[in-house]
Amino acid sequence: MKKVMLVDDEILIRENIRDCVNWEQEGFLYCGDAPDGEVALPLIEEWMPDILITDIKMPFMDGLELSSIVRKRMPDVKIIILSGHDEFSFARSALRIGVEEYCLKPVSAADLIEILRATSLKIDRERREKQRHAYTREKLLSDLCGGLISTADAITYASGFSMQLIARFYAVVIRDLRYPDTASDPARTAMAEAMLDEIMGEHFSFQRSRMEKVYLLKGETVESLRTRLAALQTEGFAALEAAFSSPPGIGVGSIQDRLQNIHTSFLEAEQDKNLRRISFRDVEAVGKSANGNVVLERAKFLQFLKIGSPQKTADFLTQFSAGLRCLDWQSSLYGYYLLNDLTLETVYLAKQTFKLPDRTEGILEPLREKIKQVRSEEQCHRYLLELMERFWQWRSEATGKYGDLIRKVKGYIEEHYANDQLSLQDAAEHAAVSPSHLSKIFSQETGQTFIEFLTRTRIEKAMELLQNTRAKTYEIAFSVGYHDPHYFSGLFKKTTGMTPKEFRRLGVSYFRQTGGTSRESQGPFA
């Protein structure tokens, strides 16, 4: 939603504009107002509104001065001037500054909404144009594989590039042609590219590095994708191994049914590629020296990270790494593979659990450099200990950074849920943060939007009243923040699967036993 800020020295006008528009319904977020330009300027820099509505004649700093400063500092902010002065000189000055609209007071709610909608469309057009020039097709595919873009954004960008991105199923393949003789034989590389393109069928691809390429395969059925991947792992691998006299540097990820899960397939392809690049002679030598294959129980390691106690780390590692004692760390690459594979799994678990802000590559590369320095069992033990401590550090940062803020906002909702005017703006002011920041953090930390949590709180309170009092439905609706009993009843049924009357008759035990009858009931009350 576009953020809107209002600056006017008349409090009645500010309150009228604030209250006459259903901002969220119209697709806007009213982030606040100010009585003059001097007060408004630091708030504008903090709130970063998309649209600024300002009067001209105000004390301390008038609207034209404010508009001029905002245009220089934040040229993307669209400015709408509401003026009570029908003088050409004012309008001419405003146009020179570059305001979007110059309107005379009074302005009706309908006219204001129309102006805001037109301005919003202009913002969207300008943003798409900027993104078209700044964002590339390769960047889109890279962000999909890195898990750095939402489904909605990915589809929007793909449409701009005329890419038919949507499919029923996806899989990622990574090929790495860093063989000793590849760089000196471009013809052989071109032959390999053509061979892979033919086997993979419909796909998108991007160059990850000079010799590494990533393929995103599409398919309408699981069977069709499996067939192509199977052909790649038989005919394709055999042909590449024959052409380069080396094991193929190719990794294949699993088949996924959502755009957001392409990241999972990419990580699996990365792991698969690393495994295939290990010298088979090294693996065989390790197997003989160990009287059997050396295997690290990744699931056991990850489970300890999730629920284990740091105090028991030393005992766990001694037992977990016992099988590595037979490895020849000086000459074999197999130990590097095992640690790299375990590191990939750990980082992926952290990224999925804690929503790490960094790019996966930025986290992995330093860890891989440390793995390369491992030359003994003792160094391996120290690396695993450091990896575990990093994971717990990520967990501590994720759970503690915004914990106090979220608790404060939830407590505020618990105290004021009965207020039908309760808004994100109110909670943001109570927590002393901007509404946009609170909206982002609240969703990120709780998995729910502010409105979803508020609705959940109100419906839960209504459920308690239905079970424990004889109050009428409209009285309960009013007491939990809904002045329209029909709207409340519809929302209650949508959320719980039952009308208030049915819920009161059947009882909460029945509701918990059945889990409700609607899909929505499995969200807030599951």
Q: Could you tell me the pTM of the whole model?
A: 0.36
Q: Residue 284: what pLDDT?
A: 41
**pLDDT tens-digit readout, 159-176:** 888 899 999 999 999 987
Q: Residue 520: what pLDDT?
A: 38
Domain spanning 2-132, CATH class = alpha beta
Cis? peptide before 106, omega within 30° of 0 = yes
Mean pLDDT of the 286-292 span: 40
Look up the CATH number of domain 403-522: 1.10.10.60
With both helix axes pointing from N to C terminus, report the angle between 280-289 and 334-354 in degrees, rounded to the nearest 10: 100
Backbone angles phi, psi at 80, to 5 degrees: -115, 125
Check whether 183 has a pLDDT greater than 50: no
- How crowded is residue 511: how many other Cβ atoms within 10 Å of its Cβ? 20
- The proportion of the chain whose per-residue pLDDT surpasses 70, expressed as a percent, equals 80
Strand 51-54 vs strand 78-83: parallel, antiparallel, or unpaired?
parallel
- Beta bridge partners of residue 52, listed in sequence order: 5, 79
CATH 3.40.50.2300 boundaries in the chain: 2-132
When pLDDT is cut at 50, 70 and 90, the band that residue 441 belongs to is: confident
**pLDDT tens-digit readout, 337-359:** 778 778 877 887 777 666 555 55
**pLDDT tens-digit readout, 18-71:** 988 889 888 899 999 999 988 999 999 889 999 999 988 888 888 888 988 998
Tell me how far apart the alpha carbons of residues 114 and 423 are, in angstroms, rounded to a whole number: 24
Outline where 358-449 has alpha helix (H). 360-372, 377-400, 403-416, 424-431, 435-446
When pLDDT is cut at 50, 70 and 90, the band that residue 181 belongs to is: very low
* 71 burial via Cβ count (<10 Å: 0-12, 13-18, 19+): middle
When pLDDT is cut at 50, 70 and 90, the band that residue 200 belongs to is: confident
Please indicate whether residue 103 or residue 281 has the higher confidence score (pLDDT). 103
The label of the residue with tokens 């197997």 reads: 287
Domain 135-274 annotated CATH 3.30.70: yes
Check whether 214 has a pLDDT greater than 90: yes
- Who contacts 341 (Cβ-Cβ below 8 Å, separation ≥6)? 271, 274, 275, 296, 298
Q: Residue 30: what pLDDT?
A: 93
Q: Residue 48: what pLDDT?
A: 92
Q: Residue 186: what pLDDT?
A: 67
Check whether 81 has a pLDDT greater than 70: yes
**pLDDT tens-digit readout, 119-157:** 999 998 888 777 666 678 898 999 899 888 888 888 888
Please indicate whether residue 282 or residue 210 has the higher confidence score (pLDDT). 210
When pLDDT is cut at 50, 70 and 90, the band that residue 361 belongs to is: low
CATH 1.10.10.60 boundaries in the chain: 403-522
Residue 316 identity: F
Please indicate whether residue 464 or residue 364 has the higher confidence score (pLDDT). 464
Check whether 517 has a pLDDT greater than 80: no
CATH 3.30.70 boundaries in the chain: 135-274
189, 177 in Cβ contact below 8 A?
yes
- Beta bridge partners of residue 219, listed in sequence order: 169
Mean pLDDT of the 309-338 span: 77
| Among the ranges given (47-56, 188-197, 200-209, 290-299), the one the predictor scored with the smallest mean pLDDT | 290-299
Please indicate whether residue 180 or residue 371 has the higher confidence score (pLDDT). 371
Tell me how far apart the alpha carbons of residues 359 and 263 are, in angstroms, rounded to a whole number: 12
Check whether 283 has a pLDDT greater than 60: no
Mean pLDDT of the 89-107 span: 79
